[in-house]
Amino acid sequence: MTKSLNFGIIAGEKSGDILGAALMTSLRRKFPAAKFVGIGGSEMLSLGCESLAKIDRLSVMGFIEPLARLPELLRLKKRLEDRFLREEIAVFIGIDSPDFNLRVARNLHSKGIKTVHFVSPSVWAYRKWRIFGIKKSVDLMLTLFPFESEIYMKHDIPVSCVGHPLADRIGFEDRKLACRKVLGISETKTVITLMPGSRAGEISRLAPIFFSAAGKSLQKHSNLEFLIPYSGEEAKSLLTAQLDRDRMLSNNKLTMMKNSHKAISASDLVIMASGTASLEAMLLRRPMIICYKLAPLSYVLGSLLLKVPYIGLPNLLARKMLVPEYLQGAVTAGLLIGKIDEFLASPSAHEEVLEQFDNIHKMLRRGASEKAAYAIGSLIGEV
């Protein structure tokens, strides 16, 4: 008889949902009767995860913004912990969303439940003192990137670098022409994908700038087309409203679509908010411009705490400036229009950078989900 194991699992946003779904699939290979309960998005739900709240309730960024939602988040935390204790879960797996998940982990850990955190918080970048709280909260840290493991080893926290599932899933073949054929886009067009983020705050700060740059660039360059992928219905609604305000909703050279992978693959250049999307663009070998814009007070606090020279994942992984990144007030429509002009004038200037993207891709290809599932199985004595 196959042993049934209950897993507590919480993912806080779309990227966590993707990681969670891949991990669930690998855990099910080892434990076919496994049950999952917690918080997940559409991908995790499709695999049978019972979600006690919508995933977007945890999608809060910045230092100040979460305070307005604190009562709701505390109620949700208690509800999840009570359910995990009733279910007698074998292990709790927190996927990203560290400010929420590590608090849940610490409480469960104190009650004797094994805890895993998947995706290292940026303790190597800022708020380094969090490492002491992490040590009291988790039995195992699973990191995506090699440079993240050092601080955990230094503090005797069990850690395993598993690589990134996207690096496993994305191949090295360029699918630009195939994706353009599916989308009905001519091979001769120059396509730019705009990704102003998935959270409401990101979209409100970056979408007006991105769309203004797109509108003015279309007036200058007749061969341009823009793709605007969205991550969910809320993001779609916010992006549609902004296009409507800018009187660009009916422009047939701006196309909204749900599939970010196809949008990036079909593009020549990506302009994006900083985040996991930059990793996807890097793995798909696309030149990019990374933008980052927080609420003013959050940015001031973040600037005081940040201890790394870059914010973009490609630059952090390369440990040098591979792709341009711009912060706060530097992110303007004028800047982006100029960068689009530069790209159109010299589209082949990025070949050396694209070769380095390939090298990073190979470094991150480690069979992440299988490796993570094995590490979790070992932790709970089921391997």
pLDDT (0 to 100) of residue 123? 73
Domain assignment present for 171: no
pLDDT (0 to 100) of residue 309? 72
Overall number of domains in the chain: 2
Q: Which residue has the tokens 């927190």?
A: 94
pLDDT (0 to 100) of residue 310? 79
Instruction: For residue 265, count other CB atoms closer than 10 A to its CB.
Output: 25
Check whether residue 332 and residue 203 sit in a common domain: yes
pLDDT (0 to 100) of residue 113? 97
Amino acid sitting at position 69: R
Domain assignment present for 1: no
pLDDT (0 to 100) of residue 1? 39
pLDDT (0 to 100) of residue 58? 76
Check whether residue 272 and residue 231 sit in a common domain: yes
Check whether residue 207 and residue 122 sit in a common domain: no
Check whether residue 109 and residue 214 sit in a common domain: no
CATH number, position 334 = 3.40.50.2000
Sheet holding 50-51, edge to edge: 50-51, 35-39, 6-11, 91-95, 115-118, 140-143, 159-161
pLDDT (0 to 100) of residue 9? 98
Cα–Cα dist 319/162, whole Å: 19
C-alpha closest to that of 37 among 108, 85, 106, 105 = 85
Domain assignment present for 105: yes
Domain assignment present for 204: yes
Give me the DSSP letters along 181-228: HHHT--TTSEEEEEE--SSHHHHHHHHHHHHHHHHHHHHH-TTEEEEE
pLDDT (0 to 100) of residue 347? 80
Domain assignment present for 137: yes
pLDDT in tens, the chain (383 residues): 356 799 999 998 888 898 999 999 999 999 999 999 999 999 999 999 999 998 877 765 545 555 667 788 889 999 999 999 999 999 999 998 888 999 999 999 999 999 999 999 877 555 677 899 999 999 999 999 888 888 899 999 999 999 998 899 999 999 999 999 999 999 999 999 999 988 888 999 999 999 999 999 999 999 999 999 998 888 999 999 999 999 998 898 999 998 899 999 999 999 999 888 999 999 999 999 999 887 666 655 565 455 567 788 899 899 899 999 999 889 999 999 999 999 999 888 888 899 999 999 999 999 999 999 999 999 998 86
Cα–Cα dist 87/243, whole Å: 46
Check whether residue 289 and residue 301 sit in a common domain: yes
Which contiguous run of DSSP H or E holds residue 235?
Answer: helix 233-245
Check whether residue 287 and residue 301 sit in a common domain: yes
Check whether residue 214 and residue 293 sit in a common domain: yes
Cα–Cα dist 165/357, whole Å: 16
**Token output for 335:** 């800047």
Cα–Cα dist 231/15, whole Å: 10
Check whether residue 373 and residue 296 sit in a common domain: no
Check whether residue 182 and residue 323 sit in a common domain: yes
Domain assignment present for 26: yes
Cα–Cα dist 25/127, whole Å: 33
Q: Which residue has the tokens 């709790």?
A: 92
pLDDT (0 to 100) of residue 275? 83
pLDDT (0 to 100) of residue 60? 57
Check whether residue 316 and residue 371 sit in a common domain: no
- Residue 185, domain extent: 176-364
Check whether residue 185 and residue 135 sit in a common domain: no
Domain assignment present for 170: no
Domain assignment present for 37: yes
Check whether residue 360 and residue 233 sit in a common domain: yes
**Token output for 45:** 């739900």
Instruction: For residue 312, count other CB atoms closer than 10 A to its CB.
Output: 26
146 in helix, strand or coil? Answer: helix
